[in-house]
Structure 1
Amino acid sequence: MEHLIVYAHPNPDSFNHAILETTVRTLKQKGHEVVVRDLYKIDFQPVLKPQDTAAMKAGQTPEDIKTEQDHIAQADAITFIYPIWWTGMPAILKGYVDRVFSYGFAYAYGEQGIDKLLKGKKGLIINTHGTPKDIYDQIGMTAGLKITSDTGIFDFTGIEPVEHLLFGSVPSAGEAALKDILKQVEAKVASVF
């Protein structure tokens, strides 16, 4: 299976990076081909500009967008790994979605409504956040994050959401708790792919 991981965290020593390493290792152990697109490392430019839209309408997709679209097109599965900041995804990842999941590539409008152009792919999202999970669950934030990402991005474009892992209280978690999270990530990645 061809597996694309889109990763968005600026600190290579972050716990998100440990999640990335665990995910890559687990997938490779299962025989997957894995491509990681570390958005900060590749210095992905997240701002959708008028010239981007004009170029795509003219059938001349900018090269940086085309590169990312090629990775998505070749993937059987796509995993997003990122922290929740201000109750959402980092701006660099939001910009990636804005620019790369474009009309005509990820979705279109047809006679029956929305044409989901990325059908046949599976999607996994792994998030960390500082707020305790119980609080996010109680205020509806967990459900909100799932609907905006799983439904609003993956399902909208035809990617089948297989799981969305959210881990709270990460900055204050002790070493044992962090190790347990990595075990949960490993087990879930192994079971859904």
Structure 2
Amino acid sequence: MDHRIPDRSDLKHCVILCHPDPDSFCAAVADRYCDVVRRHGDHVIVRDLYQMGFDPVLRAAERPTSPDFRLSADVEDELGLIAGTAQFVFIYPLWFGTPPAMLKGYVERVLGAGFSHRAVRDQQFHPILSGRNLLSFSSSGSSWAWLNEKAAWVALRHVFDDYLASAFSLARCDHVHFDCIVDGMKPRFVREQLLRAEQEAEKICAQLHHRPGVPEARPQQPMGI
């Protein structure tokens, strides 16, 4: 499996969408992001976890410390699809102050496949994620002020974003949040929020295309040791 970051003429984005409603605001954000990426000539794949019927349940044998450790077939296939990605994008709603369990399961089973607590602690090289970028788009029905009052935003950034950035040695970890996303939103408000998503996608593409001397990933080290 080739884990090198693609040449700038063939940059790959992986959009990981986690929302059960195919007509959701999150799905619209995913569509807008993908439109921008394709307009720039980059390659994008979308992993719509609910549409895929992704199984988020980690099996005992999938734990990297298990004496019988092995990758499940669906995880192995998924790792093959996302290999070579330069820009990862999470798109999800906040439910009870945290990402949906489906997304957490994707992190545990796929992104963290074979990567043990020792690997995280020792900052071992991750063959798919080290040196890559992560952008998160999240949404909630609550206001920004309420999220801050309950410390939900700070907690999310520290426990999820910052931890993943450190654990997987990400180069960048950015987050755009859309608040007050509820049924019956005015069309103008929706357009304004999707424009924010589009502008962020434009910025990401500009950063990737002007990134000088992107290094090749180091040879893969055994994971989970």
Is TM > 0.5 for Structure 1 vs Structure 2?
A: yes
Matched, 1:70 2:113: no
Q: Which residue of 2 aligns with 1:115?
A: 124
- Output the TM-score relative to the length of structure 2: 0.77
Quote the offset at 1:105 in angstroms: 4.8
Quote the offset at 1:103 in angstroms: 5.4
Structure 2 CA distance, aligned partners of 1:105 and 1:30?
Answer: 33
The gaps in structure 2 that reach 5 residues or longer are 1-10, 206-225
Cα contact 2:94–2:140 (8 A) shared by 1: yes
Cα RMSD of the aligned pairs, angstroms, is 2.3
- The aligned runs of 1:66-105 (5 Å cut-off) are 66-102=76-112, 104-105=114-115
- The aligned runs of 1:1-193 (5 Å cut-off) are 1-53=11-63, 58=68, 60-102=70-112, 104-105=114-115, 109=119, 113-117=122-126, 118-171=129-182, 173-193=185-205
Quote the offset at 1:161 in angstroms: 3.0
Cα contact 1:106–1:157 (8 A) shared by 2: no
| Greater fraction strand | 1
Secondary structure of 1:159's match? coil
- Runs of 4+ displaced beyond 4 Å: 54-59, 105-108
Quote the offset at 1:135 in angstroms: 1.4
Larger radius of gyration: 2
Quickly say closer, same or farther: Cα 1:6–1:107, change in 2 above 3 A.
farther
Quickly say closer, same or farther: Cα 1:113–1:106, change in 2 above 3 A.
closer
Quote the offset at 1:26 in angstroms: 0.9
Quote the offset at 1:53 in angstroms: 2.8
* Percent identical residues: 26
- Output the TM-score relative to the length of structure 1: 0.89
Secondary structure of 1:171's match? coil
Quickly say closer, same or farther: Cα 1:54–1:109, change in 2 above 3 A.
closer
Secondary structure of 2:51's match? coil
The gaps in structure 1 that reach 5 residues or longer are none
Moved more, 167-176 or 83-92: 167-176
Quickly say closer, same or farther: Cα 1:54–1:149, change in 2 above 3 A.
closer
